[in-house]
């Protein structure tokens, strides 16, 4: 068959397809990957090959698919050059050193030791784990949100008030007053919550609430007094004194807490 | 080298083991990063990030004998994060033509390093014309040679969907090559025939 006859045949088939099923190229191209991989069924293979004989466009795609497979597979490994490994090692060396210290401590540890030793080693193991920083940041974020950003958070509104105080400057006494009022409200809420919680715990433990209250009363009074002084100093603009009062209150509160939870009065000292 | 023992020693902080692990997989990680981002310098920086991420998560390797698949999943996630950040960045300002000439005159370009010949450059250009999902499947299936089952798990798609997409992606890439190469009879075709 001459070239002119072939062209005429090709045009004839294309016209027939255009008036009936549409172009067969999409169907043929859909089967080309299986043809290239050698998994095409016999009849389909013959049909596709026949199509390729008459369609230069699909033939070009088939040829590209033929060399594309090995070409792509040869790109599975791209060596980065001599400095790459050293750069990675430099970026991970700090953590490697920390892990080394942990291993040295593990080797140096002889025997189980006391409870605090074991707790200390466990804590160091946690801290030196590679993912500790991320985990700690995640946990801290969750705690912060729970404390300040939910409708039932004990410190809800704290970020807004803190921002207002910092942005107002020391001369803006009204803002400080608002902050101190807010602090007093939160303190009341927290105290009542703590009392209710402590009462429930004491009931569960079968301990005498009155005894615990009597034991911790002086320190609780000292704590309340320090909080009162702190609020007074805040309102008066004496921020340094107020800070010292808050520290005293924290110290007294911690002591009161310890006394409250000490089961045997003989161990209070 | 026993992979399980190697990873165990990496967890204990053995620098030699970690260096050996990096050397063994750095070519593969660079290839994945290059396949996703398409630029060599960016891919090298990203590959370092991937290894730092791997180091931070070594404790999470539950099956050391399947470390390569785990590493590929980490690399893929890092690449997707990087592409998301890149899309979020404002577009860079155009560089004047004379500065481009100066830039081209210094240091090896990607074409000189990882794209050594015309055919590699042609394939690389065609890859950049693919949709994200098709390029990803080409990277994972045809370049890295991962089994379809693993890719389906990684992309969270049915196996049949991944198989059909893989075929379509290859055809789309071949068509892009033919189009870039000037149609039937181009350089790529001559090289084969």
Region at B188 (left for phi over 0; alpha for psi -120 to 50; beta for the rest): alpha
Mean local confidence (pLDDT), A129-144: 83
Mean local confidence (pLDDT), A112-135: 69
How many CB pairs below 8 A link A and B? 148
Q: Is the pLDDT of residue A7 over 70?
A: yes
Higher pLDDT, A179 or A89: A89
Q: Is the pLDDT of residue A187 over 60?
A: yes
**pLDDT for A167:** 72
DSSP secondary structure letter of residue A27: H
Q: Is the pLDDT of residue B54 over 50?
A: yes
Mean local confidence (pLDDT), A236-264: 80
DSSP secondary structure letter of residue A149: S
Mean local confidence (pLDDT), B154-167: 94
Residues of A in contact with B34 (CB under 8 A): 78
Tokens at residue A76, please? 């599975």
**pLDDT for B131:** 93
Of the pLDDT bands very low, low, confident and very high (cuts 50, 70, 90), residue B190 is very low
**pLDDT for A155:** 76
**pLDDT for A205:** 59
Which of A160-164, B91-95, B161-165 bottoms out in mean pLDDT, i.e. has the lowest? B91-95
Of the pLDDT bands very low, low, confident and very high (cuts 50, 70, 90), residue A192 is confident
Nearest chain B residue to A99 by CA distance is B13
CA pair distance A258, B10, nearest whole angstrom = 44
Nearest chain B residue to A67 by CA distance is B192
Non-local (6+) Cβ contacts of B12 within 8 A are A99, A103
**pLDDT for A94:** 66
* Distance from chain centroid for Cα A266: 46
Contact A199, A209 (CB under 8 A): yes
Mean local confidence (pLDDT), B127-147: 94
**pLDDT for B51:** 95
Q: Per-residue pLDDT tens for B60-100?
A: 888 888 999 999 999 999 999 999 998 887 665 555 555 54
Q: Which of A16-25, A64-73, A109-118, A239-248 has the highest mean pLDDT?
A: A64-73
Higher pLDDT, A211 or B36: B36
Tokens at residue B191, please? 């090289």
- Which of B23, B115, B178 should one mutate to test binding to chain A, selecting the residue with the greatest count of A CBs within 10 A? B178
Q: Please name the member of A62, A77, A93 whose beta carbon is closest to the beta carbon of B28.
A: A77
Of the pLDDT bands very low, low, confident and very high (cuts 50, 70, 90), residue A269 is very low
Of the pLDDT bands very low, low, confident and very high (cuts 50, 70, 90), residue A103 is low
pTM of the model: 0.57
DSSP A2-15: -HHHHHHHHHHHHH
Q: Which helix (H) or strand (E) holds A98?
A: helix A83-108
Binary contact (A96, B15; C-beta < 8 A): yes
Q: Which helix (H) or strand (E) holds A165?
A: helix A158-168
Average pLDDT, chain A: 78
Which of A52-66, A77-91, A109-123 bottoms out in mean pLDDT, i.e. has the lowest? A109-123
Binary contact (A33, B27; C-beta < 8 A): no
Binary contact (A63, B193; C-beta < 8 A): yes
CA pair distance B174, A71, nearest whole angstrom = 12
Q: Which of residues 47-106 of B touch A (CB under 8 A)?
A: 47-48, 51-52, 55-60
Average pLDDT, chain B: 85
Kindly give the residue spans of alpha helices, DSSP state H, lying in chain B. 3-11, 15-37, 40-56, 67-88, 97-104, 110-113, 118-128, 132-137, 148-155, 159-180, 187-192
């Amino acid at each position: 068959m001459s070239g002119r006859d072939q062209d005429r045949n090709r045009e004839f088939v294309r016209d027939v397809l255009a008036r009936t099923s549409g172009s067969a190229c999409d169907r043929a191209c859909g089967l080309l990957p299986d043809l290239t991989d050698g998994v095409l069924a016999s009849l389909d293979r013959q049909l596709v090959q026949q199509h390729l004989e008459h369609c230069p466009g699909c033939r070009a795609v088939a040829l590209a698919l033929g060399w594309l497979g090995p070409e792509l597979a040869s790109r599975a490994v791209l060596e980065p050059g001599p400095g790459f490994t050293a750069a990675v090692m430099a970026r991970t060396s700090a953590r490697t050193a920390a892990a080394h210290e942990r291993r040295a401590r593990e080797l140096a540890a002889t025997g189980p030791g006391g409870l605090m030793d074991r707790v200390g080693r466990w804590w160091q193991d946690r801290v030196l784990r590679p993912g500790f920083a991320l985990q700690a940041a995640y946990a801290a974020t969750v705690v912060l949100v729970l404390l300040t950003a939910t409708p039932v958070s004990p410190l809800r509104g704290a970020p807004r008030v803190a921002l207002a105080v910092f942005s107002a400057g020391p001369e803006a006494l009204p803002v400080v007053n608002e902050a101190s009022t807010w602090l007093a409200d939160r303190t009341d809420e927290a105290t009542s919550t703590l009392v209710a919680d402590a009462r429930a715990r004491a009931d569960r433990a079968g301990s005498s609430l009155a005894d615990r209250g009597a034991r911790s009363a002086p320190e609780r009074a000292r704590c309340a007094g320090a909080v009162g002084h702190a609020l007074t100093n805040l309102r008066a603009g004496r921020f340094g004194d107020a800070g010292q009062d808050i520290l005293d209150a924290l110290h007294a509160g911690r002591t009161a807490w310890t006394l409250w939870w000490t089961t045997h009065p003989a161990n209070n000292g | 080298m026993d992979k399980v023992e190697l990873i165990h020693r990496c967890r204990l902080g053995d620098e030699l083991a970690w260096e050996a692990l990096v050397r063994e997989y750095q070519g593969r990680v660079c290839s994945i990063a290059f396949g996703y981002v398409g630029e060599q310098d960016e891919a090298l920086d990203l590959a370092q990030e991937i290894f730092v991420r791997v180091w931070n998560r070594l404790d999470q390797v539950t099956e050391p004998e399947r470390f390569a698949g785990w590493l590929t999943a980490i690399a893929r996630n890092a690449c997707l994060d990087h592409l998301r950040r890149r899309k979020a960045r404002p577009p860079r300002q155009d560089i004047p033509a004379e500065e481009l000439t100066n830039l081209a005159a210094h240091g090896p370009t990607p074409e000189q390093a990882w794209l050594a010949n015309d055919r590699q450059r042609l394939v690389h250009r065609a890859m950049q014309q693919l949709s994200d999902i098709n390029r990803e499947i080409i990277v994972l299936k045809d370049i890295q040679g991962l089994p379809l089952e693993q890719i389906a798990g990684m992309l969270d798609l049915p196996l049949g969907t991944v198989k059909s997409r893989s075929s379509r992606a290859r055809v789309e890439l071949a068509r892009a090559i033919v189009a870039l190469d000037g149609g039937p009879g181009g350089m790529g075709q001559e090289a084969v025939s």
